[in-house]
Amino acid sequence: MRLLKGNFIYSIDKNEIEIKKNQYLLVKDGKVEGFYNEVPSIAKDVKVEDYKDNIIIPGLSDLHVHAPQYAFRGMGMDMQLLDWLNTYAFKEEGKYKNLEYAKKQYSKFVDDVKNSATTRLSIFATLHKDATIMLMDLLENAGVKAYVGKVNMDRNSPEFLSEDTIESKEDTIEWLEQIKDRYKNIKPILTPRFIPSCTDKLMDEIQNINKKYKLPIQSHLSENTSEIDWVADLHPDTNNYAEAYDKYNLFGKENKTIMAHCVHCPDDELNLIKQNNVTVAHCPQSNANLTSGIAPIKKMLDMGIYVGLGSDIAAGSSLSIFRAMSDAVQVSKLREAMTGEKNQILTLSEVFYLGTKGGGKFFGNVGSFEKGYEFDAIVLNDESFGDNSDFTLKERLERIIYLSDDRNIVAKYVAGNKVI
Ligand code: GUN
Ligand code: FE
């Protein structure tokens, strides 16, 4: 058991933030048991972890991040998606064939993840099986929980970053067999890069793999208008981009699925997302950097679509999900200002929900302090922002979202384990 004392803030739903000032939180078997005004009798022998006036919130979830792109983040931000992939992303990812290079770069990525406010991630590796296993090993040791995908891609990329179809299938199966029972915290996720990267034959093979292994799925959807036109050419039998995944049962119906971006989804695509319980990873910084656009998140939330946030390193330059929260607010305001459409602006409560309970849902009961939730938490000291004695806890939370960095993190817990 654990007993923590401090100021707790968490989401009940997208419109409601719960605040427990100066209380005790009991954690049993890694899960939240409840809040108390005084030390409860069942925990009278447990040492109190007293965080005084610090703020304790659920750990953040990053639903979309490319680990092998971390090394060149903050570069090439003057291009749109398809040119950026060809000029920067593919070149860098090709280097992960070399395990020494992969170890050096993935170690830096994992160190920074460990020291961040993020406790759960869904990660793209590269097509390289051995480097992907190395990334999974490093993450396991860091104590965070993550899905990691060996990427599948057999067309429309340079020779040095392309598989043939059979190789892609066989390497994926070998990867899955090699990591069986290897990890406590890290799990595999099927990762067809996006439709332009995967032949129909490869999509068929991934569907077959999924019949046997029954894994979650992640990919990209409707990020950029040129990409969408290209997918329409590649799959003329479909009514929208999503149907090109759904054709192969790789769109939520059978296995839980994350689709990153969803900036330009027509209504029938949004309806399919909703119907198939697909989770949208909203990546506002990436969508600004690559001039992709602004996703209609308010509309998705109103439709009851599951949404969380993603850093989308390296199209997004910051690993911080706090930053993704403030970016999500800011771009939603620009969407309202520029389109003239009403009801586009995301509230503090909504973006806090997206970064915690909304994204956490993909991992189970994660991202809140309600009874039974896995205890993922971040303890934050906000004294460096200046005197906060006149501010409410909710105001202090908003400042943490806009102003904090890793230096404000005092402690971090994942499923009840203290990792920093
Ligand atoms: N679509 C296909 N691959 C990528 C990628 O690496 N980053 C982004 N932002 N979009 C993609
Ligand atoms: Fe991406």
CA of 281 to the centre of ligand 1 (A): 13
Q: Whose CA is nearest to atom 11 of ligand 1?
A: 220
At 334 the three-state DSSP class reads: helix
Cα 235 from Cα 241, distance rounded (Å): 8
Q: How far is the CA of 356 from the centre of ligand 2 (A)?
A: 20
| Residue 124 alpha carbon, nearest atom of ligand 1 | 6
145 alpha carbon to ligand 2 midpoint, in Å? 19
Beta carbons of 175 and 150 less than 8 angstroms apart:
yes
| Residue 89, ligand 1, Cβ within 6 A | yes
Buried b (16+ CB within 10 A) or exposed e, 273-297: beebebbbbbbbbbbbbbebbbbbb
Mutate to test the pocket of ligand 1, among 122, 161, 191, 193 (most ligand atoms within 8 A of CB): 193
Spacing, Cα 132 to ligand 2 middle (Å): 17
Which ligand 1 atom minimizes the distance to the CA of 316? 9
Give the Å distance between the CA of 60 and the centre of ligand 1: 22
Q: Kindly report the CATH number that applies to the domain delimited by 60-363.
A: 3.20.20.140
> What are the beta bridge partners of residue 61?
120
- Give dist(CA 230, CA 321) in Å, integer: 31
Nearest ligand 1 atom to alpha carbon 93? 6
Q: Using the atom order of ligand 1, give the atom closest to the CA of residue 69.
A: 6
CATH architecture of 2-59+369-418: Roll (2.30)
* Closest C-alpha to ligand 1, atom 5: 85
Which ipTM did the prediction report?
A: 0.99
Peptide bond into 314 cis (omega under 30): yes
| Residue where the block lists tokens 């999924």 | 210
Q: What are the tens digits of pLDDT across the range 293-345?
A: 999 999 999 999 999 999 999 999 999 999 999 999 999 999 999 999 999 99
Angstrom CA distances, 396 to 13, 104, 214, stand at 20, 37, 43
Question: How many C-beta atoms lie closer than 10 Å to residue 178's C-beta?
Answer: 13
Q: What is the pLDDT along the chain (420 residues), one digit of tens a residue?
A: 999 999 999 999 999 999 999 999 999 999 999 999 999 999 999 999 999 999 999 999 999 999 999 999 999 999 999 999 999 999 999 999 999 999 999 999 999 999 999 999 999 999 999 999 999 999 999 999 999 999 999 999 999 999 999 999 999 999 999 999 999 999 999 999 999 999 999 999 999 999 999 999 999 999 999 999 999 999 999 999 999 999 999 999 999 999 999 999 999 999 999 999 999 999 999 999 999 999 999 999 999 999 999 999 999 999 999 999 999 999 999 999 999 999 999 999 999 999 999 999 999 999 999 999 999 999 999 999 999 999 999 999 999 999 999 999 999 999 999 999
Helix (H, G, I), strand (E, B) or coil at 240: coil
Is the pTM higher than 0.80? The answer reads yes
Three-state secondary structure string covering 60-98: EEEEEEEHHHHHHCCCCCCCCHHHHHHHHHHHHHHHHHC
Q: Which is nearest to 408 in space by CA: 378, 386, 382, 388?
A: 382
Rounded to whole angstroms, the Cα distance separating 115 from 59 reads 12
Q: How far is the CA of 221 from the centre of ligand 2 (A)?
A: 9
Q: Is the CB of 67 under 6 A from ligand 1?
A: no
Q: What's the CA-to-centroid distance between 146 and ligand 1, angstroms?
A: 19
Q: Which atom of ligand 1 is nearest to the CA of 315?
A: 9
Tell me: the pLDDT tens digits for 145-171? 999 999 999 999 999 999 999 999 999
Calculate how far, in angstroms, residue 337's C-alpha sits from the geometric centre of ligand 2.
26
Residue of 75, 86, 153, 194 to test ligand 1 pocket, by largest number of atoms within 8 Å of CB: 194
223 lines ligand 1 (CB under 6 A): yes
Task: Scan for tokens 């749109």, then name that residue.
Answer: 80
- 88-to-82, 140, 352 alpha-carbon distances in Å: 10, 28, 32
Report residue 261 CA to chain centroid gap.
Answer: 11
**E strands, 136-210, in order:** 145-149, 151-152, 186-188, 191-192
Ligand 1: atom nearest CA of 283 is 9
CA of 315 to the centre of ligand 1 (A): 8
Distance CA(184)–CA(256), nearest Å, equals 20
In whole angstroms, give the CA distance from residue 17 to residue 352.
8
Q: Cβ of 214: how many Cβ atoms within 10 Å?
A: 10
d(CA 77, CA 390): 40
C-alpha dihedral (175, 176, 178, 180), degrees to nearest 10: 160
Q: Report the distance separating Cα 63 and Cα 218, nearest Å.
A: 9
Q: Give the Cα separation of 171 and 149 in Å (integer).
A: 12
Three-class DSSP category at 41: helix
Task: Look up residue 282 and give its two tokens.
Answer: 């909203």
- Of the residues 151, 220, 283, 312, which should be mutated to test ligand 1's pocket, given the most ligand atoms within 8 Å of the CB? 220
d(Cα 14, Cα 346) in Å, to the nearest integer?
10
Contact (Cβ atoms closer than 8 angstroms) between residue 320 and residue 351:
no
- Buried-exposed string 48-61: b where 16+ CB fall within 10 A, e elsewhere: ebebeebbbbbbbb
Ligand nearest to the CA of residue 315, numbered in listed order? 1
- Domain locations in the chain as residue ranges: 2-59+369-418, 60-363
Cis peptide before 67 (omega within 30 of 0): no
